[in-house]
Amino acid sequence: MTDIPTPASSSPRPASANALLDSSGLPRFDAIAPSDVAPAIGELLTRSRALVARLTAADAAPASWENFAQPLADGIEELSRAWGIVGHLHSVNDVPEWREAYNAMLPEVSRFFAELGQNLALFAGYTTLRDSAAFARLNAAQQRIVSNEIRDFRLSGAELPDADKPRFQAIQEELASLAAKFSENVLDATNAFAEIVTDPAELAGLPADVVDAARAAAGDSASDAWKFTLHMPSYLPVLQYADSRRLRQSLYRGHATRASEFGPAELDNTPLIRRILELRQEEARLLGFANYAEVSLAPKMAESTEQVAAFLRDLASKARPFAERDLAELKEFAARELGLSELEPWDVAYASEKLREQRYSFSEQEVKQYFTEPRVIAGLFGVIEKLFAVRVRPDTAPVWHEDVRFFRIETPAGELVGQFYLDLYARETKRGGAWMDEAITRRRIAGGIQTPVAYLNCNFPRPVGEKDGQAKPATFSHDDVITLFHETGHGLHHLLTRVEELGVSGIHGVEWDAVELPSQFMENYCWEWDVVRGMSAHVDSGEALPRALFERMLAARNFQSGLQTVRQIEFSLFDLLLHCAYDPVADAAKGRGLYDVLAEVRREVSVLIPPAWHRFPNSFSHIFAGGYAAGYFSYKWAEVLSADCYAAFEEAGDPFDARTGSRFLDEILSVGGSRPALDSFRAFRGRDPAVDALLRHSGMIAA
């Protein structure tokens, strides 16, 4: 199937036939339809409200783990799982029917969780439990859940005056709707752009598989036409390889102005951003914080906005000299070798690739031919098995698209540890980027242990072309391979947990600025020769990647790392300052907008300044439609942790050192959020984190 079918009748089926209400096992993607959403979620909301009423009744017994915290977690999980399925399908199958079904119930679900967070009786139940003698008898995971819940109730407005609670609740509902609309606008604006090329001369420089994909995308509308889009498998190769400056400029501008005033008004995210910032600021002040960044940092490792800003600026000061050198080299090369006296933004990736080819004698396209999908997947699974003493095997389950595959992780004895879906290819109905999400979380239930299930989603190019009458496998760039390892690291954090309490199992309860540690840790294995050799096979010859080519890749590993680092710091500092040093009402009244904030950040840390018409924030989904608001710095913060963790394997002299791998599993992955992330890091490394390994891995150590 290509998309989940919608029943011919729009009438809801009987509740007994509603697959969204079945939480006995894996999601029934072969049976779930958009028409199921309203009745199923409506029923689960009713059940959840009845549960809350029962647990907070005047005659209820004093709160304990057994009669209060555990049944509340169990009851709400059923709603969360069902709504998680709906949200997942909205992300990977964003057809009109699913978009409508999701948006119709989004306000109701948002309202329920806002009510839940403000329920003083529930808040009192947790504080009663914390203050009781029984609290000392709870295990560490249970105690952490109680502490986290009390913190989160406060952040959800539980202690607000009754007069303020309706407004706080309305803010949460509106923010949820705005985030969904923001994401939809980015996807729709991405899909709305197409550059149709009819002159074969404009294809010069493009890899054959990219040209074939563009020809297939053009369909039968013209015999000699090629369609290029803003989806990454099309967009990135054009910017990187196309000799046609006009074509590069066209796609660059289309990508840079997505969901802005330069396109259809109904897809412009500018008013949404303004409203999101206003509502976040209002939320912060209602909660007694000076700004939204303080709200965001409350559950994170970082202690204050000043600490985060100092961290980013210190890293920028170390990286900027390298970035300036990178840019000077690129400009000189572009002028001398490419005749580009003025290096425009749409020239940067193209000139960088040419410089890389000249300096290191290889191109990314050459490397890509060695990373065929079957070998990459097998290599990835081999790393998991060797590091963590498990086995990864194919499994079966209903899926939402014919491209999706399903796997199981098991012990050497065959005991099930967890399962995951793998959805690798880009589609027009799938949101951009790559991400991991949870389908089911590990916990102890009456019948034993509920095994975890994860979604791993990417947007890689699908197979194109044939050889000897057989379809060629998809080929991935080395960056694609790194992305796959990254998302798998998140998946392993979710799947290899040994915690049995829902609230801190897997990625639950892990501080947001530490959650990237396992994902970034896994990226290191994409640079180990034995791993790369084992997961490479040329798409035509079947030969493994030559050692000499790998050595050139290794030499180029930190190519333009200075530019890349300051770019990430630019995003992070902009996000932070937007949420702590910018008032969307008062500053706007003075004529200072968010693009002024961005310009200030760029003057401070950046070396490569985009054109004035660039509308990067309008598609910055991480902070306006994801969980990274005032938290984008988490990528760099966690990169310090992950580099330091990998350094432990380097010190052991073996990237697969069994003892170190076992300790990483025991002290980082398996404990989930059951203790503070800093405690987990210290337990693994025996000390506080240091930035040295990150700077060394990035090649930013002064000679």
Catalytic amino acids?
487
Closest C-alpha to 619, from 272, 240, 109, 299? 272
Whether the CB-CB separation of 629 and 292 falls below 8 Å is answered with yes
Q: CB count, 10 Å around CB of 212?
A: 15
**Exposure of 331 in the CB half-sphere (CA atoms within 13 A):** 14
Residue 216 is which amino acid? A
697, two tokens: 């891995």
Tokens for 691?
A: 């930035």
The first and second tokens of residue 555, run together, are: 């030499």
656 CB neighbour count, 10 Å cutoff? 15
* CB contact at 8 A, 406 and 399: yes
593 phi-psi bin (left φ>0, alpha ψ -120 to 50, beta other): beta
Whole-angstrom distance, CA of residue 646 vs CA of residue 656: 10
Give the strands of the sheet with 416-425, arranged side by side. 391-394, 405-410, 416-425, 453-460, 435-440
Q: Which residues contact 442 (CB under 8 A, 6 or more apart)?
A: 418, 449, 450, 451, 452, 495, 497, 498, 499, 500, 505, 506
Q: Side-chain half-sphere of 436: how many Cα atoms within 13 Å?
A: 25
Distance, in Å, from the CA atom of 202 to the CA atom of 221, rounded to the nearest integer, reads 19
Left (φ > 0), alpha (ψ -120 to 50) or beta: where does 609 sit?
A: beta
- Other beta carbons within 10 angstroms of residue 477's beta carbon come to 19
d(CA 358, CA 363): 9
Instruction: Tell me the backbone φ, ψ of residue 121, rounded to 5 degrees.
Output: -70, -40
Place of tokens 């992950």: 642
Contact 181, 187 (CB under 8 A): no
In the chain, the N- to C-terminal Cα span, in Å, equals 57
Let me know: does 636 contact 566? Beta carbons within 8 Å.
Answer: no
DSSP, res 133:
G
How far is it, in rounded angstroms, from Cα 299 to Cα 301?
7
